[in-house]
């Protein structure tokens, strides 16, 4: 069987391509790539907590909020077991890196379920874009709970897609379990239960026994974290991660208008190559209704927009605008274009609207970092959003090269900015 696999030229090309991408990740590991800018610092901070768990688990567990991190303690506790048995840091990180390779594989499996009639080479290419993600690479190299949370979230999507395929109730249960596990590692993903629960209600009806079972399972799975945060009063989630923000300042839902404008701009960034080649198709962009709605959203958001550049974050277009022009004008222009172009996609159906609102809720803190959307948005676009997608255009040689170069350029710029800025 293995000889048949290796003799197939298609598989050979895919294996070689994967090995090249994997090799770049290993090289970056030894070079200490930190293309998000904050991955190394976050890891050093979490390392303190991990070592503390190894030396005195109970004390650290009950005083975890004193470590000034919003990261879930779950991964840190896992890594502390390696600290306990004196495993060298480089091997801890290598183990973590190889576990992170499940993300592109699970994304690929999601694509094979959703696009089961599309050439697997196209799906392999899309999933391989994960290797060009600055967030994936940085957080694989410098262990961080968000990436493991994304892996489990993507696995929950896989089981949701399996449920959509055959309406088998066991896949709904698997979806609930893996979404809960993802939320324990990265609490932001918990809000997506709203989307999945809505879909299950539409399928089974709100008063069905199966919906009751899903609610019960969710409550049971949520009890430990509710007890930890609200009963034991260990409020690590409300720690600020922004530069210059006082820890007593409100950081949750500070200004939703900031969130809307920045989120539109970041979504637009990830859609650009797929819109350019009409892989994701949009109708009615210049429709009068769309233009009027877009102008209204834009004007309201701009009027209340007060995101502070000095606090860091804001997404790529916000940073470029302020770094080169020292104002928000370029950011506003791009955001307006983003709203006009993306609105027809979001307004296509109420589930897309719901997903957009959930993405806003997914990042309720004042500071909105680009890394929160990378590669999460890419995975979401091709799995749970309802877009008109023509994936066959992806594997046109010209299109393929442009898309790959686009995300590679973003990776290169993400690294260069740390050297020259």
Beta bridge partners of 388: 281
How confident is the model at residue 7, as a pLDDT? 45
How confident is the model at residue 55, as a pLDDT? 87
Distance CA 305, CA 258 (A): 5
Q: Determine the Cα angle at 349 with ends 252 and 361, to 5°.
A: 5
Distance CA 237, CA 61 (A): 14
How confident is the model at residue 135, as a pLDDT? 93
How confident is the model at residue 235, as a pLDDT? 66
Q: Where are the domains of the chain?
A: 1-143, 146-239, 256-389
Condensed to tens digits (0 to 9), the pLDDT of residues 300-338 reads 999 999 888 887 788 899 999 998 888 999 999 999 999
How confident is the model at residue 62, as a pLDDT? 82
CB 387 within 8 A of CB 377: no
Which of 141, 170, 188 has its CA nearest to residue 33? 141
How confident is the model at residue 2, as a pLDDT? 41
Condensed to tens digits (0 to 9), the pLDDT of residues 176-188 reads 999 999 988 888 8
- pTM, two decimals, is 0.90
Q: 280: phi > 0 → left, psi -120 to 50 → alpha, else beta; which?
A: beta
Element (H, E) at 388: strand 388-389
How confident is the model at residue 247, as a pLDDT? 54
Task: Give CA 201 to chain center in angstroms.
Answer: 25
How confident is the model at residue 241, as a pLDDT? 52
CB 110 within 8 A of CB 383: yes
How confident is the model at residue 193, as a pLDDT? 92
Q: Count other C-beta atoms under 10 Å from residue 226's C-beta.
A: 11
Residues of the chain with pLDDT under 70: 1-11, 68-69, 230-253, 418-421
């Amino acid at each position: 069987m293995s000889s048949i696999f290796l003799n197939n030229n298609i598989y050979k090309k895919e294996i070689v391509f994967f090995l090249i991408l994997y090799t770049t990740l290993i090289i970056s590991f030894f070079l200490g790539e930190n293309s998000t800018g904050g991955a190394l610092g976050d890891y050093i901070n979490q390392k303190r907590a991990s070592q503390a768990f190894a030396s005195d688990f109970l004390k650290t567990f009950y005083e975890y909020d004193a470590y000034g991190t919003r990261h879930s303690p779950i991964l840190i506790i896992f890594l502390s077991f390696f600290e306990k048995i004196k495993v060298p840091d480089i091997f801890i990180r290598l183990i973590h890196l190889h576990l992170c390779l499940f993300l592109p594989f699970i994304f690929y499996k999601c694509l094979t379920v959703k696009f089961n009639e599309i050439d697997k080479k196209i799906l392999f290419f899309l999933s391989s874009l994960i290797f060009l993600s600055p967030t994936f690479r940085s957080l694989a190299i410098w262990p961080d709970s968000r990436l493991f949370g994304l892996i489990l979230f993507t696995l929950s999507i896989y089981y949701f897609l399996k449920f959509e395929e055959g309406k088998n109730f066991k896949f709904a249960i698997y979806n609930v379990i893996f979404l809960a596990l993802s939320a324990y590692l990265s609490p932001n993903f918990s809000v997506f239960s709203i989307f999945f629960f809505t879909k299950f209600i539409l399928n089974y009806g709100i008063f069905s026994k199966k919906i009751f079972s899903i609610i019960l399972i969710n409550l049971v799975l949520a009890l430990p974290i509710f007890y930890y945060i609200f009963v034991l009063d260990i409020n690590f989630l409300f720690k600020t991660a922004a530069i210059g923000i006082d820890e007593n300042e409100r950081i949750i839902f500070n200004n939703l208008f900031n969130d809307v404008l920045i989120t539109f701009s970041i979504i637009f960034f990830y859609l650009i190559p797929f819109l350019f080649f009409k892989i994701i198709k949009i109708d009615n962009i210049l429709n009068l209704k769309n233009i009027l709605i877009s102008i209204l959203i834009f004007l309201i958001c701009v009027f209340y927009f007060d995101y502070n550049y000095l606090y860091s974050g804001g997404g790529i277009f916000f940073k470029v605008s302020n770094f080169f022009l020292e104002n928000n004008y370029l950011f506003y222009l791009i955001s307006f274009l983003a709203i006009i172009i993306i609105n027809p996609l979001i307004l296509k159906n109420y589930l897309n609207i719901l997903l957009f609102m959930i993405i806003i809720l997914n990042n309720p803190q004042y500071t909105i970092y680009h890394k929160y959307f990378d590669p999460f948005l890419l995975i979401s676009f091709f799995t749970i959003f309802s877009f008109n997608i023509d994936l066959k255009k992806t594997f046109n040689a010209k299109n393929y090269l442009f898309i790959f170069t686009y995300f590679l350029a973003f990776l290169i710029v993400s690294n260069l900015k740390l050297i020259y800025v």
